[in-house]
Amino acid sequence: MAFKNSTGTNTGRGLSPGMWHKCPIQELKNNPHSGHFFFDDFMDGIDIAANQNTAAASALGTTGLWTGCTAASGGSTVSTLATNYQGAVVLASTTDNEDAIIAYPKGAAVAGKFQFSSTTRLWMEARLQVNSIADTIAQLFVGFAEEGLVATTTLLAINEAGIADKDYVAFYRAYADGDKFDCVWNTASGGASPVAAATDAVTLAATTWTKVGMYCDGTTVRFYQNGSQVGSDLIADTDFPDGEEMAFYAALMCGAAGSDATMTLDWVALAQAYSLVDPTW
């Protein structure tokens, strides 16, 4: 059956109906037998000072259901954007080879709660903006990866070396290509990965909100910008990380000393349906 979700328009501030129109959001929110739905508008924010390891970040009351970490210098932080009354969180770094990471759920340090699977469906969307689209500023990661990566330099490698060899399915901005996100996936130590399902799939503009998302129907993972599909790949492909437990991560790695690199998140929505069949009433 079809579901009508009050999600506004693809280019509006809310969830993009172009990728959420088949998601049984209310059923997932109300019935744990069917799956789970998570949405954070960051009204409570996330605040993690510099030089915070995973344990310290998890203990901060302001992190709520999230965990995170920051590198050593005072310029690497996660903070609530005080000037945004609708709720927003800023990942920032000004020091070469220093990063800032947030992850959901808080238990991402030891366990992941999401799967790309032939028997389940998965949705993810995040509204974000960057302060600069210049090349050679910072690497960015938004998407899913294996648990245990909430530690500096563990997800995004230093010296502009890209994403670490881990299980992941994500949007990735390379250090040398500041105005684009690639759609990428990898299985740790996989001989046939990493793979770019779509290169330069998402175009970014400085200080301009955009939404990036993905939907997996049990066969294919589809990538979206503002509700319009920009790439896809079969999860049955060799070394696609299907069946792996993963968490959601947003990460920024500064690649140039003195650069003011930020990524601001307005909200994040995540959903997993435990069946390929829509519930009926």
Q: Are 13 and 127 in contact (CB under 8 A)?
A: yes
What pLDDT shows up at residue 59? 62
Give me the average pLDDT of each 10-residue run along the chain (281 residues): 62 94 94 95 92 73 78 90 93 95 89 94 98 96 96 94 97 97 97 96 98 98 98 97 97 88 97 85 48
pLDDT on residue 2:
45
- Looking only at the bridges linking them, the beta strands covering 220-225 and 228-234 are antiparallel
pLDDT at 279: 62
| Calpha distance 130→214 (Å, rounded) | 20
How confident is the model at residue 75, as a pLDDT?
86
Contacts of 38 (CB under 8 A, 6+ apart): 65, 104, 268, 269, 270, 271
Q: Which domain holds residue 229?
A: 39-273
| AA letter at 35 | G
Could you tell me if residue 29 is inside a domain? Answer: no
For residue 7, the model assigns a pLDDT of: 58
Q: What is the pLDDT of residue 257?
A: 77
Is residue 260, in this structure, part of any structural domain at all? yes
Among 277, 273, 244, 245, smallest CA distance to 38 is for 273
- The answer to the question of residue 10 being in a domain is no
Q: What is the number of domains present in the chain?
A: 1
19 occurs within a structural domain: no
Within-domain flag for 148: yes
Residue 241 sits in a domain of what CATH number? 2.60.120.200
Tokens for 159, please give them: 């010296």
Closest CA to 81 of 267, 249, 269: 267
The verdict on residue 150 lying in a domain is: yes
Q: What pTM did the predictor assign? A: 0.95
Amino acid identity, position 264: T
Residue 135 CA: distances (Å) to CA of 98, 138, 174, 179: 17, 8, 9, 8
| Terminal-residue alpha carbon distance, the chain | 10
121: left (phi over 0), alpha (psi -120 to 50) or beta: beta
Does residue 129 sit within a domain?
Answer: yes
| 30, part of any domain | no
